[in-house]
Structure 1
């Protein structure tokens, strides 16, 4: 029997024991070596089986102690609601709310559950600084010259190599560097749309995407999005004759954290290819998976060149470096023209630093540790929310990334709750920010890429109390 079948067989046996409560919440599992001897398999096979169980939140690792049945294995809280398709006649304008949230970001006294970037203690800052010094010493011009419009060749080559993780068939000529993912998305929309065109997006959706679409004079159609499987393809299909582009986060969306199954990604690319509709794919969180392997982006199934695959290191390595990229497919020349008009080229120095970090294995090593921290945090947050928030709270079940989406009692207005929380030095992202319509007023997004400690636990307890006492 093949190794893959063995690890799945072992994981299924343990999963059945957990679901039947033969193994109860908090029970310690037998050690990896004990399981190895029982099934007469390799250590790696057992590790893969345990990773599979971890990816389903059935078990959790405790440092220097072993593996335990996770409390999340038997969720008390349900998943958030599946959104419905909204017409454009009831628009909501959350710009003031977005500004209010972002105005808190420099205050060190505020616990920033709202901020969509990882805490600096989870990032390899010292190693990046060493790479920065090294890069400065090796660049003959100190990084002062213009790059080619397509971007730094070393970074583009490193990204192309990295794409083999998801079986990508890219080379450096397929990549164009940008100033972060949002700049990539902006350039993509500029390249493939005209004012008045319509773009299909998820709902709820990252508020920055809505803001870009509006700024370009475009219209957005919000498509219902399932909290586990992502954008609803049947709803999207009915809108295909009306749209000029589609923009989604296929892997661990922001804010829901949902992951599109591979079959859905294939079907999405097929549907859009049939209508020759460009797909702008934001794959910002694809490397932050909790399972045993990286999920493929839609770009992996793109044969017609319609997928514009966007990503960056803003959520994984260095938010302030503003190093991003796009593989724009058949729209490359249009995108190059847009980038040239806006910036001529992107700065050399930080592109070289990221390329160096990718080239010598440090990025891969950092991501392995980072994913472990994020997964542990996700479990901690979910446990705390189930302990501290009202029983009718619904919570997402992300399989990667670092966002949790909470749906509260319908009488709770999280925009008003935000003001109450801010007075107690707690910030979160109210749900109204993630739509152009009057919906998600009783929802909030929490960032769990923070360093877990007693203060964080107490702040979640205080936030839960505010929800319970909301009037």
Structure 2
């Protein structure tokens, strides 16, 4: 197929799916040529063919626009949504505070069930680190962090086919600090940052705190972020960074295919946009084959890979890291100006545990239990809920995503459940628009005992009640 025909087909597809709307101005011939790698004449040929077929129109000194008669079909979700001022923190704070009630059955909890953690071994490692901590430990654990811990993390990445030097790794106080430092290293207040729609609420809180603008890009519950919509966002806005989860995404649960991971990296490199890869769930894959990270395809050092031990070991340790690429020194300096350093005793305790205990054995058991519990909860919900409620259960991770009929407001169900001492995570937490008000995220890492079965029955009854109103 001729190159110009590929571009013609791509633009037709994008117009039909609502990525380009009637009246939208297409990228100029020069910009389209730069980003597609095609010659100016090839792009001009494609645009002229689209114009002759009535898909687009041209105006002197105004370029090309989508023709008015090509109305997009009603979309489930907007392709790209820009939010000038992200304002979610107060709402999210209220929901997280409500979940702290000790009597609560907590399906809104973000971490795996505490009974899955190897508490005894971790406590012993903490005691050993405290007893043996040298006087110089505070200096040895300053940014970029404990050298032995960074070496262990780098070696673990080699098993996933990612060659990383320990010198690229900066140890942080949890993954969220790694993600925030990465954002600060490549943006300034007022810049545009691409996020998935829906996305992890921590990303929205970070954008709000740093005064950044959110570009929410359409994301499918099964296949992940829409590549065409992502490219449109890059073409039409001065994007500085892109914050994505490629494995077991929170809240939807999908894992991007290796081919799609590679396509995203190539696309962002072409537009010179930094990628912040939130990879905290990558150890929680299902089966025997580990998942890859987008960092594997990085040729420019423009990807910052962030992760932690919070989801795979113990949440309270608050130890994360960023594989910072070319921004390693920038992130170290930012950390010195904010938290100064990550806890030296905790870093040393992790080194002690990872070198003296069978972490792989723990992970194997963790993955098995998460798969069993999630499958059991998904099956149970399927017996309780009508067919019009979609239970999205992806491989790996521990979240379920419920899609209710669009006329149902999940916040009303959230309020019903609070009165019954049950917490859920309403879809409104994960987007700055109103597109997911009918959705619910559930934590499926807990054992489905009688109390939780009764709580899910109460949830299902509330959903059915609101559907029948």
Compute the TM-score of the two structures, normalised by the length of structure 1.
Answer: 0.80
SS at match of 1:410: coil
Question: Equivalents in 1 of 2:191, 2:244: separation in Å?
Answer: 17
Q: How far does residue 456 in structure 1 lie from its aligned partner after superposition?
A: 1.3
Q: 1:182-238 deviations in whole A, cap 9, x for unaligned?
A: 111100010001111101110100111011012111111111111112111111011
1:348 aligns with 2:344: yes
CA offset digits 1:113-158 (Å, max 9, x no partner): 0010112111110110111112222212395556231011121111
- Equivalent residue number for residue 135 of structure 2: 141
In structure 2, what is the equivalent of residue 289 of structure 1? 285
User: Superposition pairs for residues 300-315 of structure 1, below 5 Å?
Assistant: 300-315=296-311
Q: Does 1:233 align with 2:230?
A: no
The equivalent position to 2:431 in structure 1, one of 432, 435, 455, is 435
For residues 198 and 235 of structure 1, what CA distance do their matches in structure 2 show?
Answer: 15
Shift of 1:85: 2.0
Per the TM alignment, residue 90 of structure 1 is displaced from its structure 2 partner at its CA by 10
Correspondence for 1:397 among 388, 393, 396:
393
Deviations, residues 247-271 of structure 1 (Å, cap 9, x unaligned) = 1000010000011000011111111
Matched, 1:410 2:406: yes
Please give the secondary structure, in 1, of the residue aligned with 2:349. Answer: helix
Structure 1 gap segments, 5+ residues each: 1-80
Report the equivalent of 1:72: none
What is the correspondence of 1:61-140 to structure 2 with a 5 Å cutoff? 83-88=77-82, 93-140=87-134
- Name stretches of at least 5 consecutive residues in structure 2 with no aligned partner: 1-74
Contact 2:77 2:435 (C-alpha < 8 Å) held by counterparts? no
Residues 66-465 of structure 1: pairs in structure 2 closer than 5 A: 83-88=77-82, 93-141=87-135, 147-241=141-235, 242=237, 243-465=239-461
Equivalent-residue separation in structure 2 for 1:156 and 1:190 (angstroms):
22
What is the aligned length?
391
Query: How many angstroms does 1:87 deviate by?
Result: 3.2
Q: 2-side partners of 1:367 and 1:353: how far apart?
A: 18
Superposition pairs for residues 3-14 of structure 1, below 5 Å? none
Deviation at 1:92, TM superposition (A): 8.2
8 Å Cα contact 1:82-1:227 kept in structure 2: no
Range with bigger deviation, 160-169 or 138-147: 138-147
Alpha-carbon separation, structure 2, partners of 1:468 and 1:154 = 54
1:289 and 1:401 in contact (8 A); partners too: yes
Q: Are the structure 2 counterparts of residues 312 and 89 from structure 1 closer, same or farther at C-alpha, using a change threshold of 3 Å?
A: closer
Shift of 1:360: 3.5
User: Greater CA radius of gyration, 1 or 2?
Assistant: 2
TM-score, length-scaled by structure 2: 0.80
| Contact 2:109–2:443 (CA under 8 A) maintained in structure 1 | yes
Greater relative contact order (CA < 8 Å, ≥ 6 in sequence): 1
- Residue 419 (structure 1) shift: 1.1
Tell me if structure 2 keeps the 8 A contact 1:390–1:464.
no
Aligned mates of 2:362, 2:266 — CA distance in 1: 35
**CA apart distance, 1:362:** 2.2
In structure 2, what is the Cα distance between the partners aligned to 1:108 and 1:246?
37
Q: Give secondary structure in 1 for the equivalent of 2:81.
A: coil
Is 1:82–1:226's contact at 8 Å kept on the other side of the alignment? Answer: no
